[in-house]
Amino acid sequence: MSLLSVARDGHSRLVVTATVTTTQLAVGFVSLLLACTRRSWLPLLKSRGPLDYLAEDGDDFESWGGELLRWITDYRKNCKKSHVISRVPHNYLIEGPMALPGSAPVEPEGYRSIMSDLDSKIVPGLTHWEASNKFFAYFKPHASYPAVLGELLCAGLNVMGFDWIASPACTELEVVVLDWLAKFLRLPSKFLSISEGPGGGVIQGSAGESAIVVLLAALKKKEAELKGKTGGRQNMVVYGSDQAHTIIFKGSKILGVEFHEINTVDSDYKLTAKALEAAMAEDERKGKVPFAVVATTGTTSTCVFDPLEEIVEVAKKRNLWLHIDAAYGGAYACLDGYEAKFAGLEGADSYVVNCHKKLLCPFDIAALYLADRNPVLAALGVESEYLRNEASESGAVIDYENWQMPLGRRFRALKLWFVMRRFGTVGMRDHVRNGTVLAERFAGKVKQHDDLELACAVSLSLVCFRWRGEGEGKLVGLVGGGGAGPGAEIKAVLGDKEKLEALIGPAGVGGRRDGVVEELGGVVEKVAREVGKDRAAVAAAVNEVLDDERKHAELLKAVKDTGNCFIIHTKLRGEWCNKYVIRLACGGVEQRGEDVDGAFQVIGGVLAHLKKTREVAKVVV
């Protein structure tokens, strides 16, 4: 007859309907009492199962869902004013004043209290990747609003598209949008699912996962070709440049094969056919078995493009799998004028482009295209009795579980579908182009600055620059260039990565091992004597070369400390020693010219201050 209502907090209520008898009234009373004292009353409420906790969540979801979307919009607006890099101390959520409880709450909590912690505890620990116009680090991500809605829908629907029957729309939308994307990016038709051949696209979680999938397929293919006579996995070699992303190295580790990293210092950081040939010939002499090549179109450090056409020829000659890592650079194939950079793609076996980099989607959506799906199916295909179904057995459908490592798969195509429809190819192309325009704008300022120089040609939306240094020039003037002359001796010590790191530390913050310092001092002494130059002048020039990394590290740190510009560094092998290079990646969805100008102002201001205040570190005295 009555309704017993126990309020738990301001937002959710539990409601128990009961016909009241004296005993039940007593039970109800006790439950109420226990609930009020926050003791364990749940077992007493027999009618309350796990589903009851969700009974009201539909309404909550709608109202709090709206609230959350508003929260995200506000966050994206407000974070522009904040320090771009989070400044919380280590372990801040684990211990100390901002720590979260050590165990999960026993009783359900309302959204309001969760949201309150979101503001007070989570936001301070965020580095503002997405919406801050001061973020120029890594590669600027682009989770556009339509893609965020697609992501929400993906979670809301929560279908598992491991095979076609599990949710036909999940598979078929993926086929359709990946073909749309392939056309937008002007990929060879062999990569499209609608093409006559055995090719097609599949969404993977990342470029890293994609690399493992295709390298495994390549490995199995070569093993089958050689009928197992390979000398074992440790004897199998995949080739790429020293500029290839470390995921290739990681993938090789996982597969138990060797990654032959080819030095590109003499070829403008590009993988050349000549170097590739030489590396393979050397390995074959040792009895090793090449099985795959990875070329990169848009390397992570400097966005260099490996020359695909000549690499294709080397791979073809030995019947090797050619994978193209276009994780970042691939998006730029939509722009006119970039055709030459992608020439040769026709000869690739696989190609990956991350939609979560330049293509407006949040992580995780990597589009992997295969010229022939069969080697991947042979490597990863499994038959599970519990998944057998007529559609699969008809052979007329795609079952994506056999194209990937896990079984389960999210409906990730939704986010790309939302993006492609909401922006149109015109909007997407404008977005990609915007990054290149901003990069040119920043580079123009670098070129005009007395103390800065471009470290390499601007590529895509990336500018790599350096604080000019005189050390190398002075050294060459004093003792001669590398070659076989006395300069070679100094160069040899400076070029020894291990020794150098002992001197200046891997992060450029002073390692200094006295043995190494003494050795370098000795070499300077000897060379100065040989060439009849002032020892102090030679030492000063060497110090300046050594100081190069340290001054860049100081500049970078000071820029980041302002909170108004987040940039990172990379290192390139140089003539005398590794070169410290600062990377500025632009082109966020909302980034404009004035943001790039702002970044330049911050960097210029910090540099001017350091120039006045810092001293060249004296390693050799």
What are φ and ψ of residue 579, in 5° steps? Answer: -105, 130
Residue 455 interacts with ligand PLP (CB under 6 A): yes or no: no
Residue 296 interacts with ligand PLP (CB under 6 A): yes or no: yes
Shortest spacing between CB 247 and ligand PLP, in angstroms: 5
Distance CA 282, CA 266 (A): 19
Shortest spacing between CB 464 and ligand PLP, in angstroms: 14
CA-to-CA separations, 262 to 218, 280, 480, 586, in angstroms, rounded = 20, 10, 28, 29
| Cα radius of gyration (the chain) | 30
Distance CA 324, CA 199 (A): 15
Nearer CB in complex with ligand PLP: 253/388: 253
Shortest spacing between CB 75 and ligand PLP, in angstroms: 23
Nearer CB in complex with ligand PLP: 460/479: 460
Distance CA 166, CA 159 (A): 8
Which of 300, 302, 350, 404 binds ligand PLP (CB under 6 A)? It is 300
Residue 245 interacts with ligand PLP (CB under 6 A): yes or no: yes
Distance CA 458, CA 304 (A): 9
Shortest spacing between CB 205 and ligand PLP, in angstroms: 8
Count of other CB atoms within 10 angstroms of residue 589: 17
SS3 123: helix
**Spatial CA neighbour of 327 closest among 347, 356, 348:** 356
Which of 79, 215, 218, 247 binds ligand PLP (CB under 6 A)? It is 247
Residues contacting 514, CB < 8 A, separation 6+: none
Could you tell me if 11 and 110 are in contact, meaning their C-beta atoms sit under 8 angstroms apart?
yes
Residue 82 interacts with ligand PLP (CB under 6 A): yes or no: no
Nearer CB in complex with ligand PLP: 245/373: 245
End-to-end CA distance of the chain: 94
Which of 154, 202, 348, 366 binds ligand PLP (CB under 6 A)? It is 366
Could you tell me if 445 and 599 are in contact, meaning their C-beta atoms sit under 8 angstroms apart?
no
Nearer CB in complex with ligand PLP: 147/539: 147
Residues contacting 183, CB < 8 A, separation 6+: 192
CA dihedral 184, 185, 191, 193 (to 10 degrees): -20
Residue 327 interacts with ligand PLP (CB under 6 A): yes or no: yes
Shortest spacing between CB 138 and ligand PLP, in angstroms: 6
Give me 413's structure tokens: 């195509």
Q: Angle formed by the axes of helices 497-504 and 535-562, to 10°? A: 70
Nearer CB in complex with ligand PLP: 172/242: 242
Question: Residue 22 burial by CB count (10 A; 0-12/13-18/19+): exposed, middle or buried?
Answer: exposed
Q: What does the DSSP 8-state code read for residue 46? A: T
Shortest spacing between CB 64 and ligand PLP, in angstroms: 31
Shortest spacing between CB 594 and ligand PLP, in angstroms: 26
Residue 208 interacts with ligand PLP (CB under 6 A): yes or no: yes
Strands (DSSP E) contained in 254-327 are: 258-262, 289-296, 321-325
Shortest spacing between CB 368 and ligand PLP, in angstroms: 11
Residue 325 interacts with ligand PLP (CB under 6 A): yes or no: yes
Residue 354 interacts with ligand PLP (CB under 6 A): yes or no: yes
Nearer CB in complex with ligand PLP: 315/460: 460
Nearer CB in complex with ligand PLP: 410/551: 410
Residue 206 interacts with ligand PLP (CB under 6 A): yes or no: yes
Which of 64, 135, 136, 139 binds ligand PLP (CB under 6 A)? It is 139
Give me 188's structure tokens: 């060879």
Nearer CB in complex with ligand PLP: 328/417: 328
Shortest spacing between CB 224 and ligand PLP, in angstroms: 27
Count of other CB atoms within 10 angstroms of residue 386: 5
Shortest spacing between CB 299 and ligand PLP, in angstroms: 6
Nearer CB in complex with ligand PLP: 296/578: 296
Report how many residues bind ligand PLP under the rule CB under 6 A: 15
Question: C-alpha angle 362/367/373, rounded to 5°?
Answer: 155
Residue 207 interacts with ligand PLP (CB under 6 A): yes or no: yes
Residues contacting 100, CB < 8 A, separation 6+: 93, 94, 117, 121
Binding mask 40-69 for ligand PLP (x = CB under 6 A): ------------------------------
Stretch touching ligand PLP by CB under 6 A, among 89-97, 264-272, 321-329, 383-391: 321-329
Shortest spacing between CB 193 and ligand PLP, in angstroms: 22
Place of tokens 């600062």: 582
Stretch touching ligand PLP by CB under 6 A, among 57-65, 98-106, 205-213, 466-474: 205-213
Shortest spacing between CB 570 and ligand PLP, in angstroms: 11
Which residues of the chain form contacts with ligand PLP (CB under 6 A)?
139, 206-208, 245, 247, 296, 298-300, 325, 327-328, 354, 366
